[in-house]
Amino acid sequence: MRFVMAIAMAVWTVSGSLALAGGDATSGAKVFSKCKSCHMVGEGAKKRVGPPLNGIVDSAWGSVDGFKYSPALKELAATGRVWDEATLDAYLKKPKDVIPRGRMAFPGLRRAEQRADVIAYLKQFGADGMIAK
């Protein structure tokens, strides 16, 4: 039984990694429409209910100047956390599992493919909002 569980976990881990690696930015732009009521990305992105997400991939938590983050996010940010792809994937899947007392009301994206696509979409944008070529 332990062997079967180990195999299942390995397959799950590999499939999750493949989904992250194979994200499609074009599809991610469509999925990101679910995020647009609270977040902006791209040139001229401004704060809304949530911070702009330019340069979010591999950035430090709580790094948008002037945005009022939840105390829970600030507390975790103080430990040096970074929005790497695995953390973004977990957060997009179920935000309250990553920041239990956070303000994010979004329930999450169940499908790994959609999460990978959104991450691929966000990866395009530098901190200045420009799409890297």
- pLDDT tens-digit profile of 27-82? 999 999 999 999 999 999 999 999 999 999 999 999 999 999 999 999 999 999 99
The whole-model pTM stands at 0.82
Query: In the chain, pLDDT over 90 holds for what percent of residues?
Result: 82
What's 2-123's CATH class? mainly alpha
Nearest-5° angle of CA 73, CA 98, CA 16? 140
pLDDT for the residue numbered 132: 82
- Cα Rg for the chain, rounded, in angstroms? 15
